[in-house]
Amino acid sequence: MTPKTARLVADFQPLAGAAPVRRITGILVVIVMALADATLVAQVPNRGEKLRIIAFGAHPDDCELQASGTGTLWAAQGHHVKFVSVTNGDIGHWREAGGPLALRRKQEVESANGLLGITVEILDIHDGELLPTLEMRQRLIRLIRQWNADLVIGPRPNDYHPDHRYTGILVQDAAYMVTVPFICPDTPPLKKNPVFMYYTDRFQKPTPSQPDIAISIDSVVEKKLDALALMESQFLEGGANGHAGLIPKSPAERAERVREVREQHAVRFRALADRFRAELKDWYGPAQGMKVRHAEAFEICEYGHQPDRSELRRLFPFFGD
């Protein structure tokens, strides 16, 4: 019940002793308001309506690694998907750095996501220097509001990389606040708190990832592998921890290196399917769930709207009903 309806209900309390006709009219008004309320707080769009999903990653490759299979599935159904890199990735290479690397990585994520039908934005924050400041919190609040998001995805705040940790903190800090009108009043607040979810990770402390849903990306895995292979600075050349030996010296070496990188990524997405087999079987049924080869998985953050199973099915409309 919204405060407005609560006030109405309170206003009609004195009607308890009123004449029956007035009392019934009053009760009807309250019922109508409560129904209007229910529509307002229908947190997840109904089936058939287009979803709006925004995912945050610390660097221009994090969203792509974690969610671009599911992102492609959404985009193919006409839903609106945006990947935001909170830093510009300008130290993410063993040989290059600064503006030229930031520009190179911007072009890489634009080509990769162009292939998948996903919108991209990169914030001009130096790689390795992200802090969970009030200014950054406000930037994320505005981005989520501007996208009118139904679903927001980000990393958990337990991770080896400080930029990943602080991206997780910032996304959590934006949850709920996106609905509060007088923070960032220049950007209209959302009427509903979106669902917030985390990517999975391999960190065990304080708790391991416990995804609430696992998605088969088998039908789009080739596309995802193609997209990741376009991010040459990170995957062909090894990013911050690469070395000169990785750079292909001939077209044949290049083709071999692309094959190698694609296989490394495929192994990673197959490992996720094995690790979250129980969740796949739960969502796809035992027989189909066993057959899934490549997966992505997502965990509900407790600070956004808490979707029930039917709402999750509407947010992830990939189960054929």
- Binding interface with Zn ion (CB under 5 A): 58-59, 62
Q: How far is the CB of 54 from Zn ion (least distance, A)?
A: 17
Q: How far is the CB of 63 from Zn ion (least distance, A)?
A: 9
Q: How far is the CB of 55 from Zn ion (least distance, A)?
A: 13
Nearer to Zn ion, 59 or 314 (CB): 59
Q: How far is the CB of 294 from Zn ion (least distance, A)?
A: 21
Residue type, 56: F
CA dihedral 177, 183, 189, 195 (to 10 degrees): -10
Q: How far is the CB of 44 from Zn ion (least distance, A)?
A: 29
Closest residue by beta carbon to Zn ion: 59
Which residues sit opposite 152 in a β-bridge? 54, 196
Nearer to Zn ion, 70 or 87 (CB): 87
Do 180 and 192 touch, CB atoms closer than 8 A? no
Q: How far is the CB of 79 from Zn ion (least distance, A)?
A: 25
Do 69 and 296 touch, CB atoms closer than 8 A? yes
Nearer to Zn ion, 59 or 294 (CB): 59
Nearer to Zn ion, 62 or 64 (CB): 62
Q: How far is the CB of 62 from Zn ion (least distance, A)?
A: 4
The span from the CA of 166 to the CA of 43, in Å, is 27
Nearer to Zn ion, 231 or 273 (CB): 231
Nearer to Zn ion, 150 or 163 (CB): 163
Q: How far is the CB of 164 from Zn ion (least distance, A)?
A: 6
Residue type, 284: Y
Nearer to Zn ion, 155 or 304 (CB): 155
Nearer to Zn ion, 7 or 268 (CB): 268
User: Angle, nearest 10°, between helix axes 3-12 and 20-40?
Assistant: 170
Q: How far is the CB of 161 from Zn ion (least distance, A)?
A: 6
Nearer to Zn ion, 163 or 173 (CB): 163
Do 91 and 124 touch, CB atoms closer than 8 A? no
